[in-house]
Amino acid sequence: MAQTLVLLFAICRLMSTVGLTVEPAELLPRLAVEGQLSLDPAEVAAAGADFGGLARAEPVAVMRPGSAGDVAGLVRAAYGSARGFPVSARGHGHCTGGQALAPGGVVIEMSRGRLEPRPRPAYSPSTGEYYVDVWGGDLWIDVLNWTLANGGLAPKSWTDYLYLSVGGTLSNAGISGQAFHHGPQSSNVYELDVVTGKGELITCSEEQNSELFHGVLGGLGQFGIITRARIALEQAPQRVRWIRVLYSDFGAFTRDQEHLISLHGALPSQRFDYVEGFVIVDEGLINNWRSSFFSPKNPVKISSVGSNGGVLYCLEMTKNYDDSTADTIDEVVEALLRQLSFIPATVFTTDLPYVDFLDRVHKAELRLRAKGLWEVPHPWLNLFVPASRIADFDRGVFRGILGNRTSGPILIYPMNKHKWDDRSSVVTPDEEVFYLVAFLRSALSDSDDPTQSLEYLSQQNQKILEFCDEVGIEMKQYLPHHPSRTEWARHFGPKWARFVRRKAQFDPKFILGTGQGIFQPSSSPLSLLFPS
């Protein structure tokens, strides 16, 4: 470890004076860590890009940590140097705006530093709950497989895509259709080990070092790097009844969605376990790349359903069951569906194993990879829209700005604010019910259709943001990206002063998460409180 620190200090001095002129081969023999610190051009180039394909900035080096001590040692080296250098944690590289980039610094490849032995669930007599301790770079798909294999357990709250790192989703929130009941993933963690921007390895929870605990959850990587997370577990169901119903009336669609999430406190037999939805404006198939729900041999098209103005809305729900409840699943689902006002004869159902449902997006990913359509630019835009303005958003965006093309799925589903911990760094609208609206688009550079180009989709995203400003929709970006300090201060609103205070406390040299663009090394905490 001592040799590693000498190496990193040398890198920092070279960067801050004459630039990195020493050949990587001259530095690598001095490396001595549990994991690996690489200057290999191919690895450096790979760490300089992400899933979004919109930003690129190469680090000087890439670390594959062998332990939390490796992470702490690297950050201590950056903190102890005269000018510091950027350090960013990278999970599966699924960021869409360069958030995990570390230009001129070091990227920590957390998902390549899995610890052994593999974690096993445990039981807490004091809380009566099961949990599992996992490495911050572990992928949720691996956590699922490990916990299922040890007691048939699973985390309570999910994201739609499981090939994301635990630390990555907790640093944003982590949401899916279970969030209305369980809250986001950041509300389902008991304890963390965090390396702060000073290189300190600290255990934190609601009871211990709570300021760091709440700051890191949803903190966009600004206050520390999560090296361990204690995740809440529950008994996993065996199977899932997956249901989709269609609407042409947006008011009926949102009323039904909000009714379903209001049942979060009901008995399991009186509520669904997952509630999402999506908007269909493209001519053609209702199916999309997020699932293989509808059979290719029996496609469902907009033209086959009476839509109003070419726009349909799909409400998506699941009901979990196992052998003991299989005899009653039809009755339970039918009773819940009778409470809804969807278009008659548009009920589509399928039954599948619980794991297959949770991993549904990955199957579509494999198909897109085979066609060369996965590693393309992804100008995604994710918004939290207050329920009181969601109808205005529909009129202005779904039935206005989008026209009849989307270039990817558009998710829309509501959540309950009281399931989110306001002490965390996550920012949501100031209403009890708010919607995620996620534009998950893919840009195709070789397409003859100009509406599928990166330039067109990026401009359309900007029009959506400008529309919200013009009509006074107080939305918040999820997985946010803002170009200026003023806009970041506006994004955080009343939480901005606390966010800045936490930065000064836990990362005073602004070493961590520089790819987010929130804090720059030349900024002072005082100037950040009063953005120009």
Which residues are part of the catalytic machinery? 94, 160, 276
User: What's the CA gap between 183 and 424, in Å, rounded?
Assistant: 13
Q: What are phi and psi of 6, to 5 degrees?
A: -60, -45
Report in angstroms the alpha-carbon separations of 496 from 180, 426, 500, 530: 26, 11, 6, 10
Angle 374-171-387 from CA coordinates, rounded to 5°: 85
Tokens of 240: 């899932």
Cβ atoms of 315 and 180 within 8 Å: the answer is no
Cis peptide before 155 (omega within 30 of 0): no
Task: Give the list of residues 6+ apart from residue 35 with CB closer than 8 angstroms, or none.
Answer: 63, 64, 65, 66, 67, 70, 113
Tokens found for residue 48: 């300089």
Entry field: residues in the chain: 532
Inter-CA distances, 362 with 101, 184, 381, 488, 493, Å: 24, 21, 20, 33, 36
- DSSP assignment letter at 487: H
Candidates 123, 105, 112; CA nearest to 44 is: 105
What secondary structure does DSSP assign to 319-370, as a single string?
A: EEE-TTTGGGHHHHHHHHHTT--PPTT--EEEEEEHHHHHTHHHHHHHHHHH
What is the rounded CA–CA span in Å between residue 285 and residue 234? 36
For residue 385, the tally of other CB atoms under 10 A from its CB is: 24
Comparing C-alpha atoms, which of 361, 532, 384, 352 is closest to residue 465?
Answer: 384
- 3-class SS at 297? coil
Backbone dihedral angles phi then psi of residue 61, each to the nearest 5 degrees:
-150, 165
Check: CB of residue 163 under 8 Å from CB of residue 364. Answer: no
Please report, for residues 14, 183, 263, 332, the alpha-carbon distance to residue 327 in angstroms, rounded to integers and kept in the order given: 70, 29, 23, 10
